Structure 1
Amino acid sequence: MSKIRLGILGGGADSLIGILHRVAANMFDHYEITGGAFDIDFEKSKNFGEKLGLDQDRIYKDIDAMIEAESNLPKDKRIQVVSVLTPNFLHFPMAKQLLENGFHVICEKPLTTTYEEAKILKAIREKTGSIFAVTYTYTGYPMVRQMKKMIAEGVIGKIHKVDIQYYQGWINSLIHDKEKRSNTWRLDPEKSGISCCIGDIGTHAFNMAEFLTGTRIDKVLADLNYLYEDNPMDIDGTVLVRYSDNAKGVIRASQIATGEENNFCVKIYGDKGGLKWEQENPNYLYHLTEDKPLQTLKPGHAYNSDFSLEGTKLPPGHPEGIFDSMGNIYLGIANAIKNHTKFEGAYPDLEEGVRGMMFIEKTVDSHKKGNVWVNLND
């Protein structure tokens, strides 16, 4: 089988996200990591590339060198798709340059640092026709995909309540120290954008709210917490969301939820039942109804949908996790590149990244206007 030639920008030796993407890319044997620029320090980048066993000539100083060299190679040799795993402020210029030079793109979220930048990428992609994925990782979990399918098939009926929580506590070690909070890129608007918490994890919750329901959120009302006057970016927030007059919900995100690790919890209720899923226990999907005992669905069983089963790699009872979730997204991208797409929502596309940037900006706008309802659609 001819493998897709993958390039990587960022994600070097000390990067957690780099490990996640590399494992995911190798999971279904669709990709071959061909080259990249892994670190701003070229020596570190070369050392890391050698560790990966790459051809020394395909380890590049920067994106400019990579694009120039790869574009001069025969079409059947050059890198086809590039994963952008850099800090937020580099996403837009790198993705733009890649699109303009004919590459497919896989980009970490948030897509850009502004909604305007996201719309520019969308316009370029519409001209080039390139595959463009934004890695909202959690949509790749088999039981999340099962949840989406059940909702689409009307198992829980007409949706009227969505409650999504994403709680972490990691920023506590930085936020309470003036020097530390002033010297992390996550809290620097020049590098991270206008939002920290909503931009980092709140956007996952927003994407999940639209991915699972298949319906776009119409309005938001936000109350954000910056904690200290000298801190320019939110580190906690609550966002009321409205799909329609009769379907409403709440997104709760925090990076100061002391003691929490990665508590991403999704609850969706309809007039016939409800569904609950927790990222820290991803193999359990709970189905609630008023006339039957609680049902627990698990991955790998024949009762699950084809969409769920396609991303299930182990027999029932064998835990799968975040590497598998990202791997399923890479599988969806590979199928799209090869024109073999099987399922709607097999990977989060550019439009979802654009929606995420709109959500971030409108949420901050709602807070700054005094916690008022703001329309989420242009």
Structure 2
Amino acid sequence: MSTKIKLGILGGGGDSLIGILHRVASTMYDQYELVGGVFNPELSESIAFAEKIGIRTDRIYKDLDALIKAESALPREERMQVVSILTPNFLHFPMAKLLLENGYNIICEKPLTTTLEEARILETLLEKSKTVFAVTYTYTGYPMIRQMREMISNGAIGKVQKIDVQYYQGWINPIIHDAEKRANTWRLNPEKSGISCCVGDIGTHAFDMIEYVSGLEIKEVLADLNYLYKDNVMDIDGTILLRFSEFVKGVIRTSQIATGEENNFTVSIYGEKAGLKWEQENPNYLYLLQEGEPLRVLKPGHSYNSELSLDGTKLPPGHPEGIFDSMGNIYKGVARAIKKEKYHPAEFPTMKDGIRGVNFIEKAVASHQQGNVWVKIDE
């Protein structure tokens, strides 16, 4: 009998990029078997999609209620053990809530929820269910990001004193300048996306990345957001100042109207002894900067890297690894947790990371709305 973890997926059908990413990632270490789910709000489309990707259709359901009812009727060893939530933001909370109430392990796209209140409810339910809950801040799975984290933790750059993170995209340009298009895009609809577009979509990646690699917590934020048009109620660009302590400061620069940019996510951490820099579009290179020394470039797969980095490296040095591999490392960590195997706490983002991400989104928007003032992030 297969020992693979039985996986269900909600959303991610059709030509969804995030759907492909999760499906491929789940197959990387031979830990999961995709057995069904709800790929689309229309049952016929879900069934057609299942046929297209080559899985059986007897466990394709019309909605989550039907999924839980049918799966609960199966012998325990045949039931779905973990469900991935890949739907628009407003569905994350009700779906995760119902799954937790029925004892499922969950892998959820970010942001965790659209409000901090909802996130706190899920936190309470998780404490009761004692299941595994991961939030897919995908970029934390890159081997050289994990190397960056371990180097900072081990004192390689000394005390952190400056953090600068940029996440620039230009994808919303064809939409934002057309009144009809911007009125009919779910990303710009607060009822479906939450209170923020840019900060909620990519700014939260930057926030989580900073805390992941630096080991520091952001205490306060001051945000200046841009909406571009008066009839657009969702931010599509912004600059956010960060305070970690009295003497450690930083900045997040995030935009979806950076014309010509694709996925320019750059993380720079500067310490008293050295600096480290990583670029998502060239993820195999981690740059080490030291005063009076030539620039050093660290690459994955070499013995000089940390155990955490090497564990997430699938190929010999010189063979590029990318975002599919990064998400695959997160799925691998979740599999270890579900199987109650030993795993590193940095192998996958948890609900705590998801809650802090939602907290950050709310405080950044509040800072802007209150006149660009400093706002504390709740503990």
Q: TM-score, normalised by structure 2?
A: 0.99
> What CA distance in whole angstroms lies between the structure 1 residues aligned with 2:54 and 2:196?
38
> What CA distance in whole angstroms lies between the structure 1 residues aligned with 2:253 and 2:63?
38
Name the residue aligned to 1:302. 303
Name the residue aligned to 2:26. 25
Instruction: Give the secondary-structure state (helix, strand or coil) at the position aligned to 2:76.
Output: coil
Is it true that 1:156 corresponds to 2:142 in the alignment?
no
Name the residue aligned to 1:127. 128
Instruction: Give the secondary-structure state (helix, strand or coil) at the position aligned to 1:56.
Output: coil
Instruction: Give the secondary-structure state (helix, strand or coil) at the position aligned to 1:155.
Output: coil
Is it true that 1:169 corresponds to 2:170 in the alignment?
yes
Q: Which moved more, 1:45-54 or 1:16-25?
A: 45-54
Name the residue aligned to 2:236. 235
> What CA distance in whole angstroms lies between the structure 2 residues aligned with 1:346 and 1:331?
8
1:12-57 CA distance string (max 9 Å, x none): 1221100000000000000000110101111110011122333322
> What CA distance in whole angstroms lies between the structure 1 residues aligned with 2:290 and 2:57?
59
Name the residue aligned to 1:353. 354
Give the drift of 1:250. 0.1
Is it true that 1:117 corresponds to 2:106 in the alignment?
no
Give the drift of 1:341. 3.2
Instruction: Give the secondary-structure state (helix, strand or coil) at the position aligned to 2:58.
Output: helix
1:258-302 CA distance string (max 9 Å, x none): 000000000000000000000000000000111321110000001
Give the drift of 1:170. 0.4
Give the drift of 1:344. 2.0
Q: Which moved more, 1:339-348 or 1:307-316?
A: 339-348
Name the residue aligned to 1:280. 281
Matched residue type, 2:17: L
Matched residue type, 1:26: T
Name the residue aligned to 2:50. 49
Q: Which moved more, 1:43-52 or 1:127-136?
A: 43-52
1:80-116 CA distance string (max 9 Å, x none): 0000000011000000000000100000011111111
Instruction: Give the secondary-structure state (helix, strand or coil) at the position aligned to 1:253.
Output: strand
Alignment coverage as a number of residue pairs: 378
Matched residue type, 1:13: G
1:321-368 CA distance string (max 9 Å, x none): 000000000001001111123212100001100000000000000000
| Structure 1 stretches lacking a partner, 5+ long | none
Name the residue aligned to 1:62. 63
Name the residue aligned to 2:10. 9
> What CA distance in whole angstroms lies between the structure 2 residues aligned with 1:76 and 1:197?
42
1:305-324 pair list within 5 angstroms: 305-324=306-325
Name the residue aligned to 2:101. 100
> What CA distance in whole angstroms lies between the structure 1 residues aligned with 2:53 and 2:73?
23
| Structure 2 stretches lacking a partner, 5+ long | none
Contact preservation (8 Å) 1:332, 1:341 = no
Is it true that 1:263 corresponds to 2:267 in the alignment?
no
Name the residue aligned to 1:76. 77
1:169-206 CA distance string (max 9 Å, x none): 00000001111111100000000000000000000000
Q: TM-score, normalised by structure 1?
A: 0.99
The share of aligned pairs that are identical, in percent, is 68
Matched residue type, 1:297: L
Is it true that 1:144 corresponds to 2:130 in the alignment?
no
Q: Which moved more, 1:44-53 or 1:20-29?
A: 44-53
Instruction: Give the secondary-structure state (helix, strand or coil) at the position aligned to 1:320.
Output: coil
